[in-house]
Amino acid sequence: MDDQTAQLVAELREDDARKRAVDLLTEAPRTPAELRSETGLDAAELDPILEAALEQELLERVDGDRLALTEWGERAAEFVLVEDWNPSSLSTKKGRTFDVLADGEWHCSECELSGSQPAAYIRDFRDEGFEFVSTTSGRGEYARRYCETCGEETTHRRLKYAFPSAKPITRQEMPESFKKRVRELYDGRDAFDLSTPGGTPEVDHRRPRIRWDEPEDFDYESMSDAAIREHFQILSGQHNLLKSRQCEQCVETGERPPFFGVEFYYEGGPEYEDDVGCEGCGWYNPHRWRDALTDVIERAEE
């Protein structure tokens, strides 16, 4: 959904009379005069909305001056008429987090959002097509603002729309044959410490899902070894969880956590930058990180 259409949907959702107009058009085409009569809106209130919807091809004229929803308009109407887009139950922390954010205002991650890891919920909401307001700093979908309750500057989140306005970020089903191939390629060794984990090591995407902007689209069957090394690694379950927490912290603060306390980055620096992305961080690619650090140490010893 383009931003102009999303803004129109948001505007329609905020007013019961306008929502009524959308509901009426889902039943049958109507003239502007009929819509004004049935909603109680005057021409000054309703006509600009209708003109905007016509311009964005949500409406079309049929049988003279009667207006009907286009196919895209019918889809957009669903976003207008669904009362609550909360993807989770209010009995869950995730559901309560969305309920707080749904008003479209800035909210403190420390004292207003449920759970100790709100970044994980934000990731889930993004995956489901919800958009968040991005700050001008280019450091992610949050802002550092003063919180009167906390008495200090904290991370704040703001939901752009209370409905999913972006393409959902889906995850492909990874074939077991591919997972086996990745484990064999790395000789079953954990990327963090090169140990052989007990049990079955997990195949991990180097780029964390919390940083995905598009659904993944891999051809697992024909992927080369070089492509596997570029995009995947294997980790123990404990290390995979640890990495997820570090990546969530990076998204939350805009600062790339040192890899096991070592402040070294083979690309970029400690601050996350969009043009560098995750490249250079030990949590992202410990194989390249170790090689680069070893090279620096060896050159220093010469």
Q: What is the DSSP string of 148-196?
A: TTTTEEEEEE-BS-SS--S-----PPPPHHHHHHHHHHTTT--TTT---
Q: What number is the average pLDDT over the span 169-197?
A: 92
Q: Which residues pair with 67 in a beta bridge?
A: 30, 61
Amino acid at 179: K
Query: Hunting for tokens 């079309």 — which residue is that?
Result: 60
Measured CA to CA, the distance from residue 77 to residue 55 in angstroms comes to: 16
- Write out pLDDT tens, residues 28-42: 999 999 999 999 999
**What pLDDT sits at residue 141?**
65
Q: What number is the average pLDDT over the span 135-154?
A: 76
Least confident of 23-32, 182-191, 251-260, 261-270: 251-260
Measured CA to CA, the distance from residue 234 to residue 188 in angstroms comes to: 7
| Helix residue ranges per DSSP H, the chain | 3-13, 16-27, 32-39, 43-55, 71-81, 93-101, 118-127, 176-185, 225-231, 237-253, 286-301
| Domains annotated on the chain, with CATH | 3-81 (1.10.10.10), 93-157 (no CATH), 176-301 (no CATH)
Confidence of residue 140 (pLDDT cuts 50, 70, 90): low
Query: Hunting for tokens 């008003």 — which residue is that?
Result: 103
**What pLDDT sits at residue 116?**
60
Measured CA to CA, the distance from residue 71 to residue 76 in angstroms comes to: 9
Strand bridging mode 152-157 / 143-147: antiparallel
**What pLDDT sits at residue 139?**
46
Is 137 a residue whose pLDDT tops 70? Answer: no
**What pLDDT sits at residue 138?**
45
- Write out pLDDT tens, residues 66-117: 999 999 999 899 999 998 999 999 999 899 999 999 999 999 988 998 666 6
Share of the chain above pLDDT 70, in %: 96
Phi first, then psi: what are they for 175, rounded to 5°? -60, 145
Least confident of 52-61, 118-127, 267-276, 277-286: 118-127
**Would you tell me how many other CB atoms lie within 10 Å of the CB of residue 217?**
7
- Write out pLDDT tens, residues 220-230: 999 999 999 99
**Would you tell me how many other CB atoms lie within 10 Å of the CB of residue 113?**
23
Confidence of residue 235 (pLDDT cuts 50, 70, 90): very high
Is 24 a residue whose pLDDT tops 60? Answer: yes
Contact 217, 173 (CB under 8 A): no
Amino acid at 199: G
Measured CA to CA, the distance from residue 262 to residue 282 in angstroms comes to: 9
Token pair, residue 186, equals 């790395």
**What pLDDT sits at residue 199?**
85
The dihedral formed by the CA atoms of 52, 54, 59 and 65, expressed in degrees to the nearest 10:
120
